[in-house]
Amino acid sequence: MAFSVRMKPLDVPIYEPGKPIAEIRERYGLDAVIKLASNENPYGPSPKVQEALLARLSADPELWLRYPDGAARELKRALSLRWGHPAEGIAVGAGADELIQLIALRFLADGDEAVMGELSFPMYPIATRIAGGVPIPVPMGPEGRLDLPAMLRAIGPRTRIVWLANPNNPTGTVFDRERWAAFLAEVPETVLVVLDEAYAEYVSDPNYPDGPAAVRRHPNVVVLRTFSKAYGLAGFRIGYALAAPEVVRELERVRKPFNTSAVAQLAATLALEDEAHVAFVREANRKARAALRQALEARGFRPYPSETNFLYLPHDDGRGLATRLEAAGVIVRPVPGGIRVSVGTEAENARLLAALDALE
């Protein structure tokens, strides 16, 4: 029988994240497949966190059998100390992804507009559309930079949200303090500004804006952070928002009661105690990124400037290139106008370069 269940229209394709290693192994019958497609942290989580978490998991069956603390009080306490930000101004989600969805769900009514970079995180237009909103993509500036003045000009009477990723994904670029201050001076107070800092821990640019400080001065600014990247905990799905308590209260109204697991909350809380690991990851990544950039440039690529753990490579057939690399056991991400490669370990980056060299 044909499928004839009625539903509301929804102009959203099924999102394709980076392909899992197992899928490519199976498809091409390959043993050694590496994934440089989802900007995961190849150095992994802090060994101290692993050890402490495993000890707690074996010692404490309550962690397994009870529902988690939906309000994530312990993690919020630790985050509150880390940022000098009140716990009432912190929301915790299953990754920054969930917080993006909750923000769209709560702040957009049908037909409301959300402004974003044309080449930015795909979850912004997707979450906007799912909530009934209308994405307003703004062309990028040079080298894949968000064009903040153009984004300001795109704000109209129906705009409710501006999505800003700093650093931006997939381009890896940042905007500086000066541009951010100019943006804040002009953006209407009635518009929610979502400053997505998923990759902030990787940034070494001294002119990188202080997002959390902006939250304290502007009740319409929300900063998003995640444990998926520099903290190496992508598998647990946990991230958070720093915002005005008024904003957090609204997100709490649309959040599922137990949106993050007890294990994820505990892992994140423990991870905050080992900032030395994050510093190690930042430094290792910075070196590996510089070496990878140089090797790619020697092969004729022109990567955009990046403050992250990935590089955007402009290419006239990104999808074709990604497919050919995949067949060689290297998963990268095709993105509009090129491909995006995560910076891997030295060995992984060497695999990528060898696979590129082997393409005719």
Is 198 a binding residue for ligand PMP by CB under 6 A? The answer is yes
Separation CA 142–CA 244 (nearest Å): 33
CA distance readout (Å), 309 to 83, 182, 253, 305:
23, 27, 34, 11
Cα 116 versus chain centre, distance:
15
Min separation Cβ 53 and ligand PMP, Å? 18
DSSP for residue 287: H
The pair of three-digit structure tokens given for residue 141, joined into one six-digit string: 């500036």
115 CB burial (10 A radius; 0-12, 13-18, 19+): buried
What lies within 8 Å, CB to CB, of 81 at 6+ separation is: none
Contact between 147 and ligand PMP by CB under 6 A: the answer reads no
144 binds ligand PMP (CB under 6 A): no
Q: How many CB atoms lie within 10 A of CB 246?
A: 11
- Tell me: does residue 234 bind ligand PMP (CB under 6 A): yes
Tokens 């209407």 correspond to: 188
32: three-class secondary structure by DSSP:
coil
169 binds ligand PMP (CB under 6 A): yes
- 196 binding ligand PMP? (CB under 6 A): yes
Q: In terms of Cα–Cα distance, which of 8, 42, 11 is closest to 287?
A: 42
Identify which of residues 123 and 244 has a Cβ nearer to ligand PMP in the complex: 123
Task: Kindly indicate which of the ranges 6-14, 94-102, 148-156, 263-271 contains the residues binding ligand PMP, using the contact rule CB under 6 A.
Answer: 94-102
Closest contact distance (angstroms) between CB of 28 and ligand PMP is: 25
**Sign of the Cα pseudo-torsion (200, 228, 138, 307, in order):** positive
Which residue type, as a one-letter code, is found at position 271?
A
Q: Which stretch binds ligand PMP (CB under 6 A): 90-98, 204-212, 288-296, 316-324?
A: 90-98
Stretch that binds ligand PMP, among 22-30, 63-71, 93-101, 136-144 (CB under 6 A): 93-101
Residue 309 binds ligand PMP, judged by CB under 6 A:
no
Position among 164, 165, 214, 332 found at the interface with ligand PMP (CB under 6 A): 165
List the structure tokens of 251.
């997100």
Q: Give the residue with the Cβ less far from ligand PMP, 41 or 159.
A: 41
Q: Which part of the chain contacts ligand PMP (CB under 6 A), choosing from 62-70, 226-234, 255-263, 330-338?
A: 226-234
- Is 121 among the residues that bind ligand PMP (CB under 6 A)? yes
**Site for ligand PMP contains 228 (CB under 6 A):** yes
- Name which position in 42, 125, 239, 318 contacts ligand PMP (CB under 6 A): 239
By beta carbon distance, the residue nearest ligand PMP is: 95
Residue at 221: amino acid letter: V
**Per CB under 6 A, does 95 bind ligand PMP?**
yes
Residues within window 1-40 making contact with ligand PMP, judged by CB under 6 A: 39
Q: What six digits make up the tokens of 68?
A: 């988690």
Give yes or no for residue 285 binding ligand PMP (CB under 6 A): no
Name the β-bridge partners of 92: 240
Burial class (CB in 10 A: 0-12, 13-18, 19+), 64: exposed
Cβ of residue 304: shortest distance to ligand PMP, in angstroms? 15
The answer to whether 227 and 236 are in contact (CB under 8 A) is yes
Size of the site for ligand PMP (CB under 6 A): 13
To ligand PMP, the closest distance from the beta carbon of 78 in angstroms equals 17
Q: Which residues bind ligand PMP (CB under 6 A)?
A: 39, 95-97, 121, 165, 169, 196, 198, 226, 228, 234, 239
